[in-house]
Structure 1
Amino acid sequence: MLQTLDSNLLDPNYLEESLGSFQNATGLHIEAINNQGVTVSLLGNIERSEFCRYIRSQPEGERKCQDSYKRANFEAAKWEEPYFFRCHAGLVIWAVPIMIQGVSRGSIICGQVLMWEPDHFFYQELKKLNAGIENFERLKNMACKLEVVSPQRSQAAADMLFVVVNHMIKRNINSLEEINATRLQQQQIRHEIEERKKKNLRELSEYDDYLKKERKFLRYIRLGDRTRANQTLQSLLTDLQSKTLGDLETIKVRIIELATLTSRAAVEGGANAERIMKLLKDFNKEMEGFERVEKYFYTIQRIVETFLESIFTLADKKHIAIVKNARDFIMENYALPLTVNDVAQHLFISPSHLSRLFREELDCTINDYLTRVRVEQAVDIMKKPEFSVAQVSKAVGFQNQSYFSKVFRKYIGVTPLTYKNSLY
């Protein structure tokens, strides 16, 4: 096991399993070292060569090998790529760096081979490098048994090992990020539950309050309001945690239901329908193997963020900024008698260019989006009984109540008065 390396960033079992497969495929010896050159794990089932074991058994042998590994680890980390070297005893070895977020965590050492068949000059050099060895003939015989690996094969093995190591690092960093995000999310839920208790807020009555909050959340999705969508989602998850007491099956049903509703709201907000449906299909498949509430909550938060990003999946970053700023401006000023010219003037671009961007990127006109915002806000204000339909109409920017009723019915399916009366 890699006890000396950071097991929070590198899963020892997965590392040994993956590198063991590499070793079985190549037949090459590999071991993991830390930044001091100390071997922390011999990976796979191939032990060091007889030559290396003999060298290490000599006085100062372990120290010299460690110094060779330490220098190789330093060079590999410096260049962030496989580093080939000859150890102090004359063998060809290469070090593949383990770099996590720009910091060296050690290396994977591979090799203990020769690149050419031993000849007279090799033995002369071998004797010179190992002058302290009393029984050189024994060492020479051991050298004859070493595997000869061509430069091409050595380079290919180093490249393959580099890919394997980096794949494992990426996998484990992603896992760590998920763990940290899940932990933060649970802390936020616990904090919100405690705050509700302090404020003596009532518990959910059935799912009425939850469903009302869910409708508000879906409005924010349709409008592409990332901040309020995420805030409301966090509150919804707190409701689920509190109401279900962590019952896994109930939470699973609600989370899948919420993901489906969110996907449709994202499409209505301008996201590509085909892409959203593909994401939803993958999400539902991923849900099948979960056994912890935290995993459901983390995954729904991740898919909602992906849906929101899909609303702004534009090729040109400049266009992203323009369209987003236009939407933000409309969200802040929908109660005013806005026109396309007003929005364009605020962004210092031509009305025709802004209109074209909206049509191309969001598949709607600026007026369509403005109307959608006004209707969504009207739905929210109507929950307050002190506001009449006429007051709501004026509050969201409609100057004509009759026109407001016509537009509201088109979007919601009923007149404003019918909708308001259904709330009480």
Structure 2
Amino acid sequence: MDFQQQCLHYCNFVQTLTGTHCTLIRIPDGSFCSEPFRTVCDNYQCNASHTHLYGAYEAERWDGKYIYYCPRGLVFIATMVHDPDNQGDLCMITGPIVMANSLDDPYEDNILSLENVEGIPRMTTQQTRALSELLRAAVGYLSQEDRAPNVDSGRQAQLLNTMYDLYSSAEAAEYPIDSERQLQQSIRAGDKEGSQRLLNVLLSGLYLACGNDLAKIKQHVHSLLVLMSRAAIDGGADVNDIFRLSQSYEPEIEKLRNLEELNRWLSMVLHRFINFVFDFNDIKHHNVIYQTTAYIKENLAEKLTLEDAAEHVSLSKSYFCRVLKDELGYTFTEYVNHLRVERAKLYLRDSTMSIADIAYAVGFDDQSYFTRIFKKLTNVSPGQYRKSKK
């Protein structure tokens, strides 16, 4: 399938998802790769090639996307698609759309006639802007070679699908906060596909809630970055590795110029975090190790015993000990101490809690014992660790 066919295939997908007509126009000669929308244009002086070339030229000027009116007053979205083989640039033309100021407004005043508009999608101005941003982000994957790891055009199609489901619902403007918790669970489990799907939900909700306000979206992305990093740590990633990545990523957010760049960048960050998560799938007894790790983390502040942990995963003590040693190289006590020290690192970095309080919070009854174990595993005392991370 050549590049133009790929683009047309993608146009069909956009049309199927949104119900909005979608085609391609060749910018060099103004010809269409497939038929433009003509159903309601018969009684209006409109040359489709001229109208949509105008949109394409404006899209070239305005960062690859442009929303415009046709002579009748219907709305179209022009989205640039750069051919990597340099066979001539194309522009995706999505529309018509009947655009309203809000869901309470029947139609925009710009429309010259309400005849023959049945079946044309209606969107608010906010939804139209969100669709234009999502289209721009998605078609970028058709023409750019520098792609985020494991993020292909199929996943960008999922992003469009998710966005359409959201703006079609009555709760389109509500940010899907429950998906944040689900994303954390998915990252902890090292589930790349599930995590990407949930990130799509969050990004779609974020775009729809914030409209075209990139600064406001970036504020939310900072919080999302913290959420993702903490989930990776809970999934077994090393605290130092994740915080080192996070510190390098924070200033990068401010350099992002548009939602396409933000979408690609955040997907890349997600997959890098997950790559640091402990991969239970490579372990013979992965289900046992996963359940054990989750059980310990949920009960870190409590008294943990070998007997209770073995019972939790339905194994005898002797067999359970052998599984831990063979798969992780730890005894039960060593593994508990390892997870407690990793949690303590978070408190030392991000809180003003005293070292004694941190020791108790992660399950040590004695501060001196906590200090001894911490230094044994990290080669520095808790106080030295805290100072080095300020």
Shorter-chain TM-score: which interval? Answer: 0.3 to 0.5
TM-score w.r.t. the length of structure 1 is 0.36
TM-score w.r.t. the length of structure 2 is 0.39
Q: 1 or 2, which has the higher helix percentage?
A: 1
| Greater C-alpha Rg | 1
